[in-house]
Structure formats: C-alpha cells, structure tokens
Amino acid sequence: MTTMNERSSASKIITLAALSVLSGFLGACGGGGFGGFSGFGGGQATVQEPAAAPEIPATIRADEIVGRWGLASFHKPDDRVRTEAAARGQCKNPYVIGQGATGGVIMHLPDEATPQELRLKGSQSGKNYIGPAGPAGGEKDREIVSFDGRVLMTRFIDKDASGRYGTMVYVRCAPRA
C-alpha cells in the first residue's frame, strides 16, 4: 500500500518529467534541438531563396546610343513630327549620352541633377529599358519606345515622371566637322 507522501512525490516527479519534455519540445521549435536529436529540430532548416531571374540583354547596345542628341518631348502623339523637328533644332545645345565605366550609359534619372551610369536591359516581352541596375521595367527605368539609329524615343515607367516629361525624343546630332 502506498502512502499519501509517496503518491505526492510520484505526482511531482511525473509533473517535472512532463515539464522537462515539454520544455525540450519548445526549445526544439526555436532551433536549439532536443538533446542533439535531429529528429526533434536539432538541425538548422535552410530557407531556399528563389534564384534571381537571369538578366536579359537589350537588343540595343550602349555604344549605339552614346553621343550627342537634340532633345525635346511631347505628350500627344499628334505632336511627334513637330517634336522631332524641335529636337533637331536643339543640336546647338546637345544632350550628351556618355559611355559608362562598366558598359552602361551616362544619363539623368528623372528629377536628378547629376547624371549616372544606367544599364540597357531587355525583357521577356522583347521591350528594352534604360535604368539603374535591377529588373527591367522598374520604377526608375524608361522604356525605349522606338530606336532607328537616328531617333530614340523613350518614356518613363513612373507614372508621375511620365506625366511630367511625356515621351522623350532624342535626335542624333551630326558629328562635328
């Protein structure tokens, strides 16, 4: 026959054992493991980050747009022809697109006074973009709407910048004689 003290001691031992097991499982949730048993969370789980999509090269090379350009812009498609003529007239004060040190082009981002090196980027859809490093079509990018070697037309992706600047028309200036 067991006495009341023996039952109380046994109850305390069972409670302590249960708490010990429970704390072990809770510790395993934190990655600390359970006494080294990897089956209880002792190993560190690694989260696999999705691989970055491979960069798609633009179909236009940086050296094709480096040079001196007359620059103007329009908001209504009906103004395109007039704007190209206005851009040609700006060759006396050309916008210069420089060659970047790492293969990009030196141009301005919207609302920034200092030009910086930007990349020409291609996309799955076949569109080309000019912008800072990162995925094609980002908020600071401009889409190349058309390019025939003499006239380059771009439009900013950012709606606010696009609304202010419209479609940019760059007309290649003749080389200096």
Reported as a single tens digit per residue, the pLDDT across 121-160 is: 999 999 999 999 999 999 999 999 999 999 999 999 999 9
- Given a contact cutoff of 8 angstroms between Cβ atoms, the answer to whether 165 and 158 are in contact is no
Q: What is the DSSP letter of 51?
A: P
pTM: 0.69
For residues 108 and 117, what is the distance between their CA atoms, to the nearest angstrom? Answer: 9
The answer to whether residue 71 scores a pLDDT higher than 80 is yes
Task: Give the chain's length.
Answer: 177
Q: Where are the domains of the chain?
A: 4-40, 62-172
Sole residue written with tokens 């302590």? 16
For residues 72 and 168, what is the distance between their CA atoms, to the nearest angstrom? Answer: 6
The answer to whether residue 22 scores a pLDDT higher than 80 is no
